[in-house]
């Protein structure tokens, strides 16, 4: 098990879930910036609870509407028995969410039916309100088995589906799967992250053609096309529909800028021509930033390391290390990130973080 640094011995381990499904759907449909929580490790790869809390406080102060913990950006390896960080990370993050009760509490769950249900039960005990259900990675599985798994998890907590890109182990999921998935009563959203326009449209069509269309939020996880998703209108029998918000690893950095961006997108949707011009200009810039942060040139090998490197430079992480010693920045990636930030300074949040970092690290 990974040792834990500076844990609070008497920290609370459970809170009551505050919101029912209808309120969760209302919040998700309103449109939220939801960062995917990174993992705070020191230079000895010890879990730093102090920095983990500081990250959560940064996201709250930035105006994020929720937090997703235990997801890909948190590193799937937290579940390994020899690491044993799944519950500690959820618990520490829940303490920060207790400080900010307006934020939605989302826990990532993964694994087999039994494993995913057990993780959802842990999340529910710690006060999380919904789960992001990761598909099996690097494994063949049938649509039927995936639907059975989703239904079992949905018995515990509301479910957000997750279309994970193939480059990091996600399976190709059929339109038939998505049509059946969105009919599960306790499904409240889908994070659409195949990094593929055709597959993105498969999910959008499944949601919009469903009788549950108004009860299932659409969240972009396509870090390569964030603005494109948010500013694309889709026609449905109920009228024009948009992606509601984003649940993104990219939004684990530059979170305050992301909140402002989503506000600008909303204004553009309502006909503000100046906002529309800004949004159109930002679209390729954010994709270029993501190319550096997510290490696109090397098939995303340094994507988590890229996020960590930025947060470490800003003083919110004690190191840029990941759990695996092979998960590091690719050669030249650090320079690419620095160049992208210099070119697009609207993104970085550097001054905001510098002004408040000590407060968040208290």
Q: Mind listing the pLDDT tens digit for each residue in 259-290? A: 999 999 999 999 999 999 999 999 999 999 99
Average pLDDT over residues 107-130: 97
The mean of the pLDDT values for the chain is 93
Question: What pTM, to 2 d.p., does this model score?
Answer: 0.93
Q: Where in the chain are the domains? A: 4-229+240-272
Asked if the model's pLDDT at residue 13 lies above 50, the reply is no
- State how far the alpha carbon of 80 is from the alpha carbons of 48, 84, 111, 303, in Å: 18, 6, 11, 20
Please enumerate in sequence order all residues whose Cβ is within 8 A of that of 142, keeping only pairs 6 or more positions apart, or say none. Answer: none
Asked if the model's pLDDT at residue 95 lies above 60, the reply is yes
pLDDT of residue 171: 80
Q: Which DSSP state fits 108?
A: E
pLDDT of residue 18: 65
Of residues 292 and 169, which shows the higher confidence score? 292
Average pLDDT over residues 184-195: 97
CATH number belonging to the domain at 4-229+240-272, selected among 3.30.160.20, 3.20.20.70, 3.40.50.460, 3.40.50.800: 3.20.20.70
Q: Which range in 126-140, 165-179, 304-318 is most confidently predicted, on average pLDDT?
A: 304-318
Please enumerate in sequence order all residues whose Cβ is within 8 A of that of 45, keeping only pairs 6 or more positions apart, or say none. Answer: 2, 321, 323
pLDDT of residue 104: 97
The residues pairing with 41 across neighbouring beta strands, listed in sequence order, are 47
Give CA–CA dist 253/64, Å, rounded: 12
């Amino acid at each position: 098990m990974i040792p834990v640094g500076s844990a609070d011995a008497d920290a609370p381990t459970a809170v009551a879930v505050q919101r029912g499904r209808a309120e969760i759907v209302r919040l998700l449909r309103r449109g939220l910036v939801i960062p995917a929580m990174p993992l705070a490790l020191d230079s000895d790869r010890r879990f730093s609870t102090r920095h983990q809390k500081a990250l959560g406080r940064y996201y709250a102060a930035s105006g994020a509407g929720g937090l997703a913990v235990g997801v890909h950006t948190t590193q799937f390896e937290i579940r390994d028995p020899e690491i044993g960080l799944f519950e500690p990370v959820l618990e520490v993050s829940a303490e920060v969410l207790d400080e900010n009760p307006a934020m939605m509490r989302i826990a990532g769950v993964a694994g087999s039916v039994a494993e995913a249900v057990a993780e959802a039960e842990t999340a529910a005990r710690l006060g999380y309100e919904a789960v992001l259900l990761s598909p099996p990675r690097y494994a063949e599985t049938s649509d039927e088995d995936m639907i059975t798994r989703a239904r079992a998890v949905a018995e515990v907590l509301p479910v957000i589906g997750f279309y994970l890109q193939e480059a990091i182990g996600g399976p190709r999921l059929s339109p038939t799967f998505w049509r059946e998935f969105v009919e599960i009563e306790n499904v409240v959203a889908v994070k659409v992250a195949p990094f593929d326009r055709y597959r993105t449209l498969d999910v959008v069509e499944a949601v919009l053609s469903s009788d549950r269309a108004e009860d299932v939020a659409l969240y972009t996880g396509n870090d390569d096309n964030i603005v494109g998703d948010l500013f694309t209108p889709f026609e449905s029998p109920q009228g024009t529909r948009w992606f509601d918000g984003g649940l993104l690893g990219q939004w684990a950095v530059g979170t305050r800028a992301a909140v402002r961006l989503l506000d600008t997108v909303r204004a553009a949707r309502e006909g503000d021509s100046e906002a529309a011009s800004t949004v159109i200009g930002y679209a390729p810039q954010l994709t270029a930033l993501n190319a550096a942060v997510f290490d696109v040139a090397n098939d995303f090998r340094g994507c988590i390391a890229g996020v960590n490197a930025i947060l470490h430079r800003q003083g919110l992480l004690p190191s840029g290390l990941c759990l695996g010693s092979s998960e590091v920045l690719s050669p030249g990636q650090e320079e690419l990130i620095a160049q992208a930030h210099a070119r697009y300074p609207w993104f970085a949040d550097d001054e905001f973080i510098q002004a408040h970092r000590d407060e968040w690290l208290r």
